[in-house]
Amino acid sequence: MSTATVHSDSATEPSKPARSLRLRWSIIAGVLATAIFAQAVFAGLMLPGVDWGHRAHSLNAFVLIASTLAAGLSALVSLRRVPNGPKLGFTLLSLGVVLVIQTAVGKSSTEGANLMWVHIPLGVALFGFAMLGVARVRQLGGG
């Protein structure tokens, strides 16, 4: 009589704490990416003159900057010993810095500077940058 043993390759099957960690950071990165996408929606509402579109765009920008920088700092501190954790932290911090630049360009545009040609494409690039953060979460723990 032979007994079969099932071996699990730990490299392909993440542990429960690793799955939980990835889930938490996936939610954070996903919410940030969704909020960046929402910026385009709010900007689109401003074009036909929807009153609350500009307020929503401005408020969301402020919340995005604060939450992205906080998430980046939190990732650097809490994930410093997790493989690829610092990479996620630096990605989120970099995203926060670019959001600050984007906001400054947007404010300058509303004050008369001819910078909308920079503001709009940078907004599109920011969404791609946010998706890089989502991809970095998948690498947490060496995955």
User: Quick one: pLDDT at residue 142?
Assistant: 78
Question: Cα separation of 106 and 104, whole Å?
Answer: 5
Residue 139 near residue 84 (C-beta atoms within 8 A): yes
Query: What value does the mean pLDDT of the chain take?
Result: 89
- Tens of pLDDT, residues 8-31: 444 555 577 778 889 999 999 999
Of 17, 13, 130, which is closest to residue 82 (Cα–Cα)?
Answer: 17
- Tens of pLDDT, residues 35-65: 999 999 999 999 899 999 999 999 999 999 9
Residue 72 near residue 96 (C-beta atoms within 8 A): yes
User: Quick one: pLDDT at residue 2?
Assistant: 47
Domain ranges of the chain: 16-142
Of 97, 87, 102, 96, which is closest to residue 137 (Cα–Cα)?
Answer: 87
Tell me 8's DSSP state: -
Angle 137-69-143 from CA coordinates, rounded to 5°? 10
Q: Is the pTM for the entire model greater than 0.75?
A: yes
